């Protein structure tokens, strides 16, 4: 398991809530860190272009939000999603249950562009079966949508393109 340092605990809040404006004290509570530490990390994130600082439109106090235009933020968010998929045990549980040729993360989550209401799309190259995802959905605060297809060749061109540009979590995709 990877160690999560305090800096990651703060940045993770922006991964979970990428479109939300967050106040210093709110971030401090969510990350379970003292406000001075959170403030220091926020300054670092600003310099790195990961977070934007704005004034609250009514009260004028500073609020922070994810810089979703930053390629680096999208990359870190994507890596965090992959890490959490493995650490939650979902990838291993899916592999044990279905024995697919490939498990692929695709869609907005594979590009680091997912927001609070987005789902997590997983492709499993195998025959469909029933699998309870509620436990994992609670961990991710998102719906997880599995797509089952044994024969990749029978997929639509749009799905093929999304899968090829996705992230292979386990196995490999036999495209040709």
pLDDT of residue 1: 38
| pLDDT reading at 143 higher than 90 | yes
Residue 5 CA: distances (Å) to CA of 32, 41, 126, 138: 12, 11, 38, 23
Q: In the predicted model, what is the mean pLDDT of residues 26-32?
A: 97
Pairing of strands 120-124, 144-148: parallel
pTM comes to 0.91
Q: What is the pLDDT of residues 85-142, one digit of tens each?
A: 999 999 999 999 999 999 999 999 999 999 999 999 999 999 998 999 999 999 998 9
Write out the two tokens for 57.
Answer: 């439109």
Q: Label residue 3 by pLDDT band (50, 70, 90).
A: low
**What is the 3 state secondary structure string of the chain?**
CCCCCHHHHHHHHHHHCCCCCECHHHHHHHHCCCHHHHHHHHHHHHHHCCEEEEECCCCCCEEEEECCCCHHHHHHHHHHHHHHHHHCCHHHHHHHHHCCCEEEEECHHHHCCCCCCCCEEEEECCCCCCCCCHHHHHHHCCCEEEEECCCHHHCCHHHHHHHHCCEEEEECCCCC
């Amino acid at each position: 398991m990877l160690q999560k340092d305090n800096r990651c605990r703060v940045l993770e809040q922006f991964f979970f809530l990428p479109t939300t404006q967050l106040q210093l004290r709110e971030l401090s509570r969510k990350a379970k860190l003292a406000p001075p530490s959170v403030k220091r990390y926020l300054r670092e994130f600003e310099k790195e272009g990961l977070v934007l600082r704005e004034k609250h439109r009514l009260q004028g106090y500073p609020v922070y939000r994810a810089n979703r235009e930053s390629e680096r933020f999208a990359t870190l968010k994507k890596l965090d999603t992959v890490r959490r998929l493995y650490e939650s045990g979902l990838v291993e549980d899916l592999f044990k249950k279905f024995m697919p040729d490939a498990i692929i993360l695709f869609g907005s989550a594979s590009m680091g562009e997912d927001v609070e209401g987005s789902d997590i799309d997983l492709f499993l190259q195998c025959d469909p079966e029933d699998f309870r995802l509620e436990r994992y959905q609670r961990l991710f605060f998102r719906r997880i949508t599995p797509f089952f297809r044994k024969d990749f060749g029978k997929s639509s061109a749009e799905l093929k393109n999304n899968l090829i540009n996705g992230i292979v979590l386990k196995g490999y995709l036999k495209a040709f």
